[in-house]
A = this chain, B = another copy of it.
Amino acid sequence: QTEVQSSVVGMHPRGTITVYDQRYFQGRRMEFTACCQNIMECGMENIRSLKVECGAWVGYEHSSFCGQQFILEKGDYPCFESYMGSNSYRIERMISFRPICCANHKDSRMTVYELENMMGRQFELCDDYPSLQAMGWIHNEVGSMQIQCGAFVCYQYPGYRGYQYIMECDCHGGEYKCYREYGTHAQTPQIQSIRRIQH
């Protein structure tokens, strides 16, 4: 059973993701090269496994790119546990997804601020930080942030755990002025690890 949905390619000429409606790459299969706002409109009730063949993608809990976010890089994701973070609010849904426009690692650059609206102490990041506190950031929170170049994943806990927030220079003009802009699921400004995204 193979269905291919080709569409005009957006930012990623060769970004490809294959999704399945059953665990371990079983059941109905669809291949995408551009964003999907609602997998149910393609006749699938949910996505239970997937393979990223090319590019970097973000998966979302709800349709229209809402709810929890999951960074999806090249590789095999055989079950829900493989895309989720380690959240207490455990979801088993991925209904929409889209490709991300990244930069080369060496060009990626963002600034974190202590307070909302780019106020207070600040720190410029251009690397991967499994612990912001280890690099000298004294808080377990980030009040606001600005992405100058590329795309980053920010995580609630150290070591790339907990809620994920995908931040891009191409969204909001790269400005995230308070934690409510980090994602529709953000409940606090708690962020303790950050890394770059690359294809």
Binding site for B on A (CB under 8 A): 52, 71-77, 79-88, 128, 130-134, 140, 153, 156-162, 192-193, 195, 197-199
Complexed CA–CA distance, A197 and B76 (Å): 24
A199-B161 contact in complex given A81-B88, A86-B84, A87-B81, C-beta closer than 8 Å: no
- Is the pair B86, A82 in contact by a Cβ cutoff of 8 Å? yes
- Is the pair A74, B133 in contact by a Cβ cutoff of 8 Å? yes
In the complex, chain B residues whose CB is within 8 Å of the CB of A80: 88
Complexed CA–CA distance, A73 and B157 (Å): 10
- Is the pair A128, B128 in contact by a Cβ cutoff of 8 Å? yes
Question: CB within 8 A of A74: which of B77, B84, B131?
Answer: B131
In the complex, chain B residues whose CB is within 8 Å of the CB of A84: 86, 161
In the complex, chain B residues whose CB is within 8 Å of the CB of A81: 86-88, 157, 161-162
Which residue on chain B has the smallest CB distance to residue A70?
B159
Which 9 interchain pairs have the tightest Cβ spacing? Answer: A75-B158, A73-B131, A74-B134, A82-B157, A160-B160, A74-B131, A74-B133, A81-B88, A75-B192
In the complex, chain B residues whose CB is within 8 Å of the CB of A72: 158-159
A161-B83 contact in complex given A73-B134, A130-B195, C-beta closer than 8 Å: yes
In the complex, chain B residues whose CB is within 8 Å of the CB of A88: 79-81
In the complex, chain B residues whose CB is within 8 Å of the CB of A133: 74-76
A136: min CB distance to chain B, Å: 10
Complexed CA–CA distance, A133 and B74 (Å): 6
Question: CB within 8 A of A75: which of B77, B79, B132, B195?
Answer: B132
- Is the pair B156, A82 in contact by a Cβ cutoff of 8 Å? yes
- Is the pair B77, A157 in contact by a Cβ cutoff of 8 Å? yes
- Is the pair A73, B199 in contact by a Cβ cutoff of 8 Å? no
Complexed CA–CA distance, A191 and B156 (Å): 23
